[in-house]
């Protein structure tokens, strides 16, 4: 499983030669997608011009209901639902704000990706939520910018809840948040837990 951070909350994942994009918005998109995952319909997670670049007739798209209603060929998912293929299982999980109004419950989702005997959790735009307590993951991709999502300190608490072995900060350096947030997250997590934090470079 090869993970590339394209910037903000956009990722490319190579799984056994299959290409997955998550929340296409930031970065360059040179390869066609086998699978596209879209957490919600805010512009910084759902860029239709990028999707046109990477999809073809064989591309599968799994998305929140808000996205699927705007994107032909996308399959809507709600928390608790799963899609299985021979090489991957994708589960939709809850993602929402608890103390702000930007991301209401059920408006968006996160994703649990199971492939190559690993569980990768893409949190989406969320705060720390009770649903995290039931998770146990190998890799967690967590927002750290604050304002619309978790702060770095809150994201460090999320690492404990999901029992991640590796944590990757995201959702900074574009609209809100800076590299300082990512660094604070790294220091907190590695001081408070046994998890390893990897701060990826864009691209």
Please state the rounded mean pLDDT for residues 37-62: 94
Confidence (pLDDT) at 176: 81
| Distance from chain centroid for Cα 98 | 18
Q: Is the pLDDT of residue 101 over 90?
A: no
The DSSP letter of residue 131 is: G
pLDDT band (50, 70, 90) for residue 52:
very high
> For the chain, what percent of residues have pLDDT higher than 70?
100
What does the alpha-carbon distance between residue 120 and residue 141 come to, in Å, rounded to a whole number?
8
> For the chain, what percent of residues have pLDDT higher than 90?
85
Lowest mean pLDDT among 81-90, 98-107, 116-125, 149-158: 98-107
Q: Hey, how many other C-beta atoms are within 10 angstroms of the C-beta on 136?
A: 11
Please state the rounded mean pLDDT for residues 75-87: 96
> Domain extents for the chain?
2-197
Q: Is the pLDDT of residue 148 over 90?
A: no
What does the alpha-carbon distance between residue 126 and residue 150 come to, in Å, rounded to a whole number?
6
Confidence (pLDDT) at 178: 84
CATH number corresponding to 2-197: 3.60.15.10
**CA dihedral of 202, 92, 30, 177, whole degrees rounded to 10:** -20
pLDDT band (50, 70, 90) for residue 103:
confident
Strand (E) or helix (H) holding 154: helix 152-162
């Amino acid at each position: 499983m090869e993970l590339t951070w394209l910037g903000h909350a956009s990722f490319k994942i190579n799984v056994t030669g299959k290409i997955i994009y998550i929340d296409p918005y930031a970065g360059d998109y040179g390869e066609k997608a086998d699978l596209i995952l879209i957490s919600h319909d805010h512009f910084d997670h759902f860029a239709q011009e990028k999707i046109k670049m990477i999809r073809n007739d064989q591309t599968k798209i799994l998305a929140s209901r808000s996205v699927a209603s705007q994107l032909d060929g996308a399959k809507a998912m709600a928390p608790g639902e799963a899609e299985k293929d021979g090489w991957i299982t994708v589960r939709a999980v809850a993602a929402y704000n608890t103390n702000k109004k930007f991301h209401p419950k059920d408006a968006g989702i996160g994703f649990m990706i199971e492939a190559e005997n690993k569980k990768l959790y893409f949190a989406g735009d969320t705060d720390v939520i009770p649903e995290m307590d039931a998770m146990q993951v190998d890799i967690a991709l967590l927002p750290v910018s604050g304002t619309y999502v978790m702060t770095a300190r809150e994201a460090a608490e999320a690492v404990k809840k999901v029992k991640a072995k590796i944590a990757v900060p995201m959702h900074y350096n574009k609209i809100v948040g800076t590299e300082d947030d990512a660094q604070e997250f790294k220091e907190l997590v590695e001081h408070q837990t046994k998890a390893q934090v990897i701060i990826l470079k864009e691209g």
